[in-house]
Structure 1
Amino acid sequence: MKNQINMTDACELIKNFNTGREQERLVLKYKKMRSDAFVFLRGTCHLFYDRLPKENIFNDAPLVWCCGDLHLENFGSYKGNNRLTYFDINDFDEAALAPLTWDLVRLLTSILIGSVSLGIKKKDAQLLGDVFLTSYRSTLSSGKSYWVERETADGKIRLLLDNLRERKRSAFLNKRTDTLKGKRKLKVDGQRALPASLRQFDLIAEFMSGYAKTQADPNFFRPIDIARRVAGTGSLGLDRYIILINGKGHLDGNYLLDLKASSPSSLVSHLRVKQPKWQTESHRTRELQSRLQAVSMSFLESVKIQKTDYLLRALQPVEDRIILDRSMNSMSELENILHAMGEIVASAHIRSTGRDGSTITDELIEYSQNNQWHTQILAYADDCARQTNKDWKSYICAFDDGFFNF
């Protein structure tokens, strides 16, 4: 694969991309990205597409609604708006209309990059990539979308969904709140939550009070406490809040919401295809999440606070994800998980066919029959993984030299 930019430029692009973000959480992002190549990959989606080869396979493949930032940790369990539990893609900040190969090569690259920290040998990582791609093509060729919930899941995914279904709200709340004088208050631990300033607290509280009045049960959404949320990697530094609301009105009936500022997709500047004119970036995220997921998660809504665009949804804990550590999973179990992920991605692509410029299902079925791109995409993922590792090593040197200091 030919470099599109040199190593120094890579660090400049990272710095420029994050310009204007909140310093406290951006410091956490930069530090996390230095720790591990997989974390670096997650935090530099924009750089990944800067590096994407200009080959035909990434221009001529059928257009689908892509997740955009597809990697191993962007799958997880959640409760849908029908209150059933599902395992699906769970982050759509970068979603856009793009050739389907863009999603595939990023996921395959994440398997290869993550293999070191996950304790997986490269040959096993390559096998897992092949399992994912074979499952994806098989599902695509069926022309039918599937979903993963308790009755259709097995292995570790079934266990994850069982745990979510059986988890008591009180236990979930106790991990993120303290109780004082019969009321809950968010834990501000510097790891998952940071204190909100008085201005931030008042701004979000005022918004939630107004938002509550528009709902059928205003008291349910009455805000109790607010903090800045620390979660993910790529979005660290953007405005993000965890909101404790009244919910069912008693100590163990409170709910937690996630309010996250939206920004443009990193894919768009690299795409030749025209995108729809979305009302706002959070409308794009919400609409594409509703198209790609089998069932949308709870409280998913696009909102605006003053001039900032946000996505509001139920809080999704990081522990509601599969841990793909080789020490905790047999190779057979890992293959089952990647097989399921292949079905999920193909189903998302099928589910959103024929919408605003995406290809129709018949064309996806036809494309799935071509064996040639299967081998090609695996080879390009290997190239992308090597390039990502080079960029990460360059980043480490720049970070240690103080390039990212404020």
Structure 2
Amino acid sequence: MMMYLLIVGLSGGVAVLLFRTGRATRLVHRALRRELQTIHYELKQAEHHPGRQFQLLDPVYRKVVFQVHPKVKMKRTELEQMVSDELNRLIKNKRSAILSSVTVIGRSALGLMMLSISLVGGYAAYHEAQMLNWPGSTQVASSSATILDETFELPTQVASPEELGQALAYHMSQFDETFSIRYIGKSRDFEHTMEEAWDWLEANHIYVFRLSRGGETEYRDYGGYVDLDVGLAYDMNIEEAKQIEARVDQVVAEMPVGLSDYEKVKYINDYVVLNTAYNLDSQASPYTPYSILFNGEGVCEGYALTTLLLLEAAGVEAKYISGEVQTGLHAWNLVKLDDAWYHLDTTWNDPVPNRVGEVGYDYFLVSDETLQKDHTWEIGEYPATAIADY
């Protein structure tokens, strides 16, 4: 889940930040970051040369639109605007940026991109602000919440991206639709801080991270601290989350006694496949374990999250993977057995159209080499698997 970010106003120490979440945005974000890293030195050298900056940034824009367009289901004009917005944000807020203000306007039908560049100060001045200690009543009462036997602590003070991620995780685990967080420190790059917080949340609490489908934030900058107001929408509610927790416990309790870890993984693979039919137009949100566990239908994200919850409840170490297949974005799991990792794709082990009583094992505990034949993912972001299939 990555954010569309738009600065709506900067006045009197108040900034409004709006975001929406989506898979397309994450693809755009990663592609732009990759391309900008390759021209970092050239951008720095072109600090006072707007024409040269345009020459460097225009190919980045065009390349990312070309790369991402086949992978997402959206109009070309909408994707172009998304790439423009994200490129604008990255240039303004990335620590390696040389521009204090760059506005990128989406291409017209003729494919033109305009850059309106306002240089305020130099590269060194952009980096000279330091973290501020802000005295006063910034402490909040320590709180904790539990979901699926995992405890989420609300930090007593939020002064780092990780602590901001922890605060977000706490509120999201409770399905809070509106909440406020006070962040202590500089806010010149607060959008970058927010990005790091979401990245931390995704890496450490993927289930909670996947609960939300986007929303809006507003932050007010007071110099030494920022007051952040968040509004989120969810695919589920707290009652459904509790039902999921109970059903996960029930499924694990019904496992035969004395299973090995391998047998537990097979039991869970079979349970998910035999009780689920792939269906995008499901009664509940197809991306949730609720739809899988209670309606017996859903899509890959629901399959992978449900598999993750069941594996963890059974005491088997597992991870959630976001990647791609020929038809588009996809999700599956990594499972650790005998100190080695293996891929498990319960979605692709489920025959389509659904065939009652039939379970596939082509994507059951396979290696990187095997899965790379028809799956792609950011390999460096996940543990390497065993050399051979299990």
The alignment's TM-score, normalised by the length of structure 1, stands at: 0.26
Give 1 or 2: higher strand fraction.
2
Q: Which has the higher contact order (CA 8 A, sep 6+)?
A: 1
Give 1 or 2: higher helix fraction.
1
The alignment's TM-score, normalised by the length of structure 2, stands at: 0.27
Structure with the greater alpha carbon radius of gyration: 2
